[in-house]
Amino acid sequence: MLASSQPRVILVTGANKGIGFEIVKKLIKESPPNNNVILLGCRDLKRGQDALIQLCSPPNVHCLQLDVSSRESIFHATNEIKSKYGGQLDVLINNAAIGELELAVDSATEMFSINYYGIKILNEHLFPLIRENGRVINVASACGPIVLYEASESLQNQYTSSTLTLQQLDDLVEDFISSIGTHSIEQLGYNPKSLYLIYSVTKAAVISLTQIEARQWSGAKHVLILSVCPGFCTTDINKNAPGSRHPEFGADSILYVVNTPRNELKNGCFYRDGQLLPQIGRINREN
């Protein structure tokens, strides 16, 4: 993917299980150890070390303690990359996420702290370390376009505006969280019957965030910033729901945007299984 004699340095967040673990496993297999340095991001270092043992402790894979909901943890992880790995990254895969069905302010606050703010803040810290022609991959979901499809035209226009700013997106997020506490979700323009409502709005926000970051950052170092849906996979988020596909297929969907030649991808856009997806639409969730 990257024309360089140096090994790629790749960070995968939430990599000790599920889709993140499968991404690391596939990265190990796809090229010789001296081609990739893989940072296995994990909130719990013990679980990360256990995952490393499951992978047979390859010499090019290293645990990086990283809780994306904590600014302090992000700060320490950034410094560790600077001190141990030359202060450079080629690929950042923002995979860490949580899901919760309870429609409550506390649940929304926690989910957004990881699924949206965690990505936003980590990207702000790590973008200066991304090398020329690097990539930032924000893992989203088809639930994002679906929840906007079911929302008001006003909300659709705000989330998809080509002039949307980070502050305006933060305001959309905070207004949504507040509306849960004031029971005004519908008045704000969301459909309260949308499936996985809070989770879906976090992912709609991630897709919009990706577009803003692409506008703001990509020109500086020719960095590609993309969002991707792994598909409906068997993970802890959906409590290993029946009918879901194996996480390795989700990993394939993500690695497509990691490895595909730059000229075959559109910066700031949203993909699943190699296909470009709309920001608003009734997309099939099941694959």
CA distances from 223 to 126, 152, 163, 173, 227 (A): 12, 33, 20, 26, 13
Q: Which two tokens stand for residue 92?
A: 């950042």
Q: Please report how the helices 18-30 and 247-259 are oriented relative to each other, as an axis angle in degrees rounded to 10.
A: 50
The verdict on whether 199 is a catalytic residue reads yes
- What is the rounded distance in angstroms from the CA atom of residue 129 to the CA atom of residue 142? 29
| Alpha-carbon distance values, 178 to 143, 144, 171, 187, 265 (Å) | 21, 19, 10, 12, 36
Choice among 116, 196, 199, 256 that is catalytic: 199
Helix (H) or strand (E) holding 214: helix 197-221
Q: What are phi and psi of 54, to 5 degrees?
A: -60, -30
Task: Reduce the DSSP state of residue 250 to 3 states and report it.
Answer: helix
Active centre residues (catalytic):
199
